[in-house]
Each structure stands twice: as C-alpha cells, then as structure tokens.
Amino acid sequence: MASEEIVVLGRLADPYGMQGWLRLHPFGDDPLDWAEMPVWWISRDGQSWSECKLKRLKSHNNGLVVLLDGVVDRTAAEAMKGTLVGAPRAALPTTGEDEFYWSDLIGLDVINTAGERLGKVASLIETGASSVLRVVADGHAERLLPFVSAVVLSVEKEAGLIRVEWGSDW
C-alpha cells in the first residue's frame, strides 16, 4: 500500500515486560478506539507498510501498551521500537469541524495576518500540552508554532492554507 494512503497514528516505543508488550506513543486523540480496527499497518524508517494484527491494547499507568501478533517476547518487542503505526485513511472516522489528522496539515502553507508566507508545515510535534506545527520556509530556519486557537486562526484544507497570528520576525 502506498504511504500516501496511510495516516500515521503513532509510534511504538519501549518494550514493556517480558512477553512482547510495547508502549505506544499516540499522535492523536482516542487511541483506545484503535482496538476496533481489525488490522494495523506498520512501517519502519520509510519502508513499505505491512499489515499487523493487534492482539491487545490497554491503558497502563498514564500511557498505553500493545501486544501485536508475532511479537512474542521482549527481544522481538525491542526490534519493533520506533516502528510507526498507521491505518488506511478510509478506515478512520471522519473528523469533526475544527478537527484534523496530522497528515491533513502537513504540506499546507502558513500565512500570517499581515499576509506574509511563513513556510509550509513539515511535521507536528506532540508536547503534551498541545501539538506544535514545525513550519519550514525555503532556505530559512524552521519555526515552531503552537497549534492552539490563539495562534492558529483558521485551517483551510481546500485552499492549502493555515492562517496564523504570528510575526515573521518571531
């Protein structure tokens, strides 16, 4: 399956225990709902996506842990660390008004209220408090803009724009 058809949902982190469990770092809301997907898609370092069945997904302390088919012990779990987890776009629920998958935002132009182009969204960073847009301009340093209503005024996916309250010299 082509990577453009897959929405990245999270990343597998450190092994948990001795029986193949892994910590899951989600990139969005409601990761417990992912247990309803019959198949997860996984990819490592830009390799092609492959199917992987989920055996279990549960909350543990302040995070999530998962058990995947074929990951039977800690050694196998260590080999999965850093693997991306995704799903085909068609398998995901539609977003509500003012809700976006990160993949919807990547590549959009960022324009401030003065009409200055600040760059394109290259990626997002989850900080715990809020997501952060990593905006990169051609040949210039990156800017990190919090994805909060005080900064992001509108997201116009069809126009390919994000309008922000952010100075070009900040």
CATH code for the domain in which residue 68 is found: 2.40.30.60
What is the arrangement of strands in the sheet containing 142-146, beginning at the earlier edge strand? 142-146, 131-136, 117-126, 109-112, 161-164, 152-156
Cα distance between residue 49 and residue 51, in whole Å: 7
Pair 85, 119 in one domain: no
The pTM assigned to this predicted structure is 0.70
pLDDT in tens, 106-154: 999 999 999 999 999 999 888 878 889 999 998 777 999 999 999 999 9
Q: Half-sphere exposure of residue 162, counting CA atoms within 13 Å on the CB side?
A: 28
Of the three residues 39, 61, 91, the one that is the final residue of a domain is 91
Residues in the chain: 170
Of the three residues 45, 64, 91, the one that is the final residue of a domain is 91
Short-list 100, 11, 24, CA closest to 57: 24
Its domain, for residue 109, covers: 102-164
Residue 22's CB: how many other CB atoms inside 10 A? Answer: 26
pLDDT in tens, 88-119: 888 887 788 888 888 889 999 999 999 999 99
Q: Is residue 170 part of a domain?
A: no
* Helix/strand/coil (H/E/C) assignment for every residue in 131-170: EEEEEECCCCCEEEEECCCCCEEEEECCCCEEEECCCCCC
